[in-house]
Amino acid sequence: MSLPTRAPRFEVLCDITRPVLTGTAAECTFSSPGSLDYGTISLMIPLADTLWIVDQAKSLGFDLSGVVRAEQFPELQRMPEWLARGYAGEMKYLADPRRSDPQTVMPGIRSAIVGLLNYNTARPLSTDPVPHGENGEPRGWISRYAWGDDYHDVLRERLDALRESLRKHFTGPFEARAHVDTGPVQERVLAKYAGLGSLGKNTLLLNQMLGSFFFLGVILTTLDLQPTLGANELPPPNLCGTCRRCLDACPTQAFVEPYVMDARKCISYLTIELHGSIPEELREPMGNHVFGCDICQDVCPWNRRAPISTIPQFQARVFPPAEENLTSTALPPQAESFYLPRLEWLLQLSEADFRELFRGSPVKRTKWRGLMRNACIALGNSGPRPGTADHGRVSELLNRLAGSGDQVLAESARWALSRIQ
Ligand code: B12
Ligand code: SF4
Ligand code: SF4
């Protein structure tokens, strides 16, 4: 076999700081930080293809990517028990048995390509002492991931472009399906075994350099790709050690034990996925959250120095639109924003306003009714004092909702009124 005289050197970074595969395609030597030498292998086309895919993904804007074989992984074996305990609540789609076995997800599936995209933004954390608004106006917390455009669209666009590249690169018929949340797969588990990070006690994928404020997307394919991790290579090591900050900080005590969440108690579930009334005992712990929750990530030491994303679509939407300033943490005066929105502003929104304002935003998932319900609970927890002008206006808005024909909304508004009298 003839080799190019100047074979390009490559380096695959599986957990960023730790090159696990270095050399030229001809040498292709596996190494590990423990200086174990796994030997030299001959030129393998599939491995070169994997390197090519990682390179393509990078050029399409993914912060990290990796390839994993569609196999059973130990974490997935706990899924039936997790479901049997009822932890999934109303998220019935999680019971799809294919989620426990990647080999059943698609006929002929061999591999998954996992892409990771950072969405960390410059504004304060939900656990920082946040400004409560001028004149102490009550404000709600929309989760960081939902300040900008819908990540499903942002990732999907990149995954589709990667899929197109695969079509051009690989000859012969093959299937490749792109998913962001939508596929019956556990993306974090695939990402772990693609070498992108480890699972934290808060159940999220954690990367030593990037923290956890990132999204994952996958391409499931019948292509038989060489995985990013070598046969003797372990996924990146656990980063939690004795830390338990996320477990202790969770206001609704959603973690039944490290690495295991009862999703029914998670504020993210309550504010986004639950359709009915929020259980009474969880309302006060919800605080001012109106969409999602960041607490178990905000307290995580690995997010303290996590890099900031400059992707414009992930920056907080401001109304009226402000001058573009990606690193600014200050809001222009008089602006409304998805970062700490005024609860009174949210409660004033009609269904038509909601559709207009949250078009292309992840918040649309909870629908107008869900956002109003959540804003009522948040107001009940942080509403203005009786006798103030704010109190009069807010009470009027709540009274209007209390008279609504929608039982969930009416009851949530009555609860809020009872709390601020
Ligand atoms: C359902 C879902 C949720 C649910 C459930 C959360 C969860 N932890 O599973 C809710 C609505 C609560 C949620 C919240 C959030 N989510 Co979400 N979510 C998903 C989704 C669609 C499926 C995840 C899933 O399959 N969960 C099911 C359970 C079974 O998984 P599990 O927690 O890993 O459970 C295992 C362990 O408990 C384990 N186990 C280990 N030991 C033991 C011991 C025992 C006894 C048992 C029983 C089990 C067990 O076994 C279980 C089965 O494998 C994924 C996308 C995807 N398709 O993967 C995004 C995803 C996980 N979410 C994401 C995000 C960003 C969030 C939020 C941060 C959003 C927000 N700010 O509000 C929060 C974070 C909350 C948190 N700490 O997890 C990202 C995570 C990125 C990352 N860095 O990891 C994902 C990957 C979406 C994406 N495409 O980027 N989410
Ligand atoms: S997102 Fe919030 S409510 Fe959910 S587990 Fe984390 S800290 Fe708890
Ligand atoms: S807060 Fe601590 S225990 Fe929780 S995920 Fe981060 S490092 Fe792990």
User: Does the pLDDT of residue 140 top 80, yes or no?
Assistant: yes
Binning pLDDT at 50, 70 and 90, where does residue 322 land?
low
Ligand 1 in reach of 145 Cβ (< 6 A): yes
> Can you say how many angstroms the Cα of residue 385 is from the centroid of all Cα atoms in its chain?
36
| Res 39: pLDDT | 36
> Do 68 and 194 meet the contact criterion of CB atoms below 8 Å apart?
yes
Q: Which pair of tokens denotes residue 75?
A: 């974490």
Q: What is the mean pLDDT of residues 115-130?
A: 90
> How far apart are the CA of 296 and the centre of ligand 2, in A?
5
| Res 128: pLDDT | 85
> How far apart are the CA of 204 and the centre of ligand 1, in A?
6
Binning pLDDT at 50, 70 and 90, where does residue 319 land?
confident
Q: Which residues of 375-396 are buried (b: 16+ CB within 10 A; e: fewer)?
A: bbbbbbbbbbeeeeebeeebbe
Q: Could you give the C-alpha distances from 232 to 14, 29, 103, 196, 198, in angstroms and in order?
A: 14, 12, 21, 16, 17
Which residues neighbour 351 within 8 Å (Cβ) at sequence distance 6 or greater? Answer: 368
Tell me: the pLDDT tens digits for 339-350? 999 999 999 999
Q: What is the mean pLDDT of residues 180-206?
A: 97
User: Which atom of ligand 2 lies nearest, measured to the CA of 249?
Assistant: 7
Residues, the chain, total? Answer: 421
Name the average pLDDT for the chain. Answer: 87
Ligand 1 in reach of 261 Cβ (< 6 A): yes
CA–CA–CA angle 256, 261, 265 (5° rounding): 90
Using DSSP's 3-state secondary structure scheme, residue 180 falls into coil
Q: Which letter does DSSP use for residue 44 in this model?
A: -
Q: Which pair of tokens denotes residue 209?
A: 């350099």
Ligand 1 in reach of 119 Cβ (< 6 A): no
Ligand 1 in reach of 198 Cβ (< 6 A): no
Give the residue, by CA position, lying nearest to ligand 3 atom 6. Answer: 300
Q: Which of 54, 188, 190, 62 is nearest to 118 (CA)?
A: 62
Ligand 2 in reach of 299 Cβ (< 6 A): no
Binning pLDDT at 50, 70 and 90, where does residue 21 land?
very low
Phi-psi sector, 292: left (phi>0), alpha (psi -120 to 50), beta: left
CA–CA–CA angle 75, 79, 85 (5° rounding): 135
> Do 335 and 322 meet the contact criterion of CB atoms below 8 Å apart?
yes
User: Does the pLDDT of residue 38 top 60, yes or no?
Assistant: no
> Do 338 and 375 meet the contact criterion of CB atoms below 8 Å apart?
no
> Do 116 and 62 meet the contact criterion of CB atoms below 8 Å apart?
yes
> Can you say how many angstroms the Cα of residue 103 is from the centroid of all Cα atoms in its chain?
24
Q: Which pair of tokens denotes residue 384?
A: 């203005």
> What residues flank ligand 3, with Cβ below 6 Å?
200-202, 206, 239-240, 243-246, 299-302
Ligand 1 in reach of 255 Cβ (< 6 A): no
Ligand 2 in reach of 366 Cβ (< 6 A): no
> How far apart are the CA of 202 and the centre of ligand 3, in A?
6
> How far apart are the CA of 393 and the centre of ligand 2, in A?
31
pTM of the model: 0.89
User: Which atom of ligand 3 lies nearest, measured to the CA of 245?
Assistant: 1
- For residue 161, give the amino acid letter: A
Q: What is the mean pLDDT of residues 203-215?
A: 98
> How far apart are the CA of 414 and the centre of ligand 1, in A?
32
Work out the percent of the chain whose per-residue pLDDT is above 90.
77
User: Which atom of ligand 2 lies nearest, measured to the CA of 267?
Assistant: 3
Q: Which pair of tokens denotes residue 304?
A: 């303290």
Q: Which pair of tokens denotes residue 314?
A: 């992930």
Among all residues, which ones are annotated catalytic? Answer: 181
373 vs 390: CA distance, rounded Å:
19
6 vs 3: CA distance, rounded Å:
8
